[in-house]
Structure 1
Amino acid sequence: MPEIKICGLSTPDTLDAALAAGADWVGFVRFPRSPRHVALDTARSLSHRAKGRAGRVVLLVDPDDDALAAAVAAIGPDLIQLHGRESAARVAAIRAATGLPVMKALGIATRADLARVADFAAVADRLLLDAKPPPGAALPGGNGVRFDWDLLAGADLPAGTMLSGGLCADTVAEALRRTGLTALDVSSGVESAPGIKDPARIAAFVAAARG
Structure 2
Amino acid sequence: MKSIADLRKSYERAELDESASNANPLQQFDQWLTEAIQAEVPEPNAMTLATVGSDLRPSTRVVLIKGFDARGIVWYTNYESRKGRELAGNPFAALQFHWVELERVVRIEGVVERVSAEESDAYFHSRPMDSRIGAWASPQSEVISGRGVLVANAAKYAAQFLLQPPRPPHWGGYRLKPDNWQFWQGRKSRLHDRLRYSEQADGGWLRERLAP
Q: TM-score of the superposition, structure 2-length normalised?
A: 0.25
Q: Please identify which structure carries the higher strand content.
A: 2
TM-score relative to the length of structure 1: 0.26
Q: Which has the larger radius of gyration?
A: 2
The structure, 1 or 2, with the larger RCO (C-alpha pairs under 8 Å, 6+ apart) is 2
